[in-house]
Amino acid sequence: MAIGYTIVRIIFGLWFTYAGIEYFIPDLQPFGTTAIAQQFTHALVDSGLMLIVKIMELVAGVLILLNRAVLPSALMVLPLSVVIAFWNIVLDPVPPVGYFFGIVTPLFNLILIWPYREKLAPLLVWKRAAA
């Protein structure tokens, strides 16, 4: 199990490090093949939100690769993983690659969080008794 987790951690870390870097290299950032995917991506870039997303991906990717602050990093990019899944499956569905990235990104993200589930369980309590 530990070796599988390590493999997922390294792949995810490399993947997010690359995704963060690609924005800063001209003509490397993908904009999609469908009109809606391109509009969505251009809106992120034009609004400045893409810069924040790419910095988050880069920071999380490097930290996860270094096996440092894995839980905070994985939690930080969990919403991004959901958007990546949506982009790949709904906005720019290019079978089989788009579906693969759309499924594997949040799956790997959840695998990174899974070992910490007991620490995170108190966050899921709906109503706590007064102390």
Whether residue 98 has pLDDT greater than 80: yes
Domain ranges, ordered by start, for the chain: 2-124
Q: Is the pLDDT of residue 32 over 90?
A: yes
What does each C-alpha distance from 10 to 32, 70, 88, 94, 96 come to in angstroms? 26, 11, 22, 25, 23
Question: Under a CB-based contact definition with an 8 Å cutoff, are residues 85 and 102 in contact?
Answer: yes
| pTM of the predicted model as reported, rounded to 2 decimal places | 0.92
Checking if the pLDDT of 84 tops 90, the result is yes
CA 16 vs CA 5, 35, 55: distances in Å:
16, 25, 10
pLDDT averaged over every residue in the chain: 96
Give me the pLDDT at residue 129, please. 78
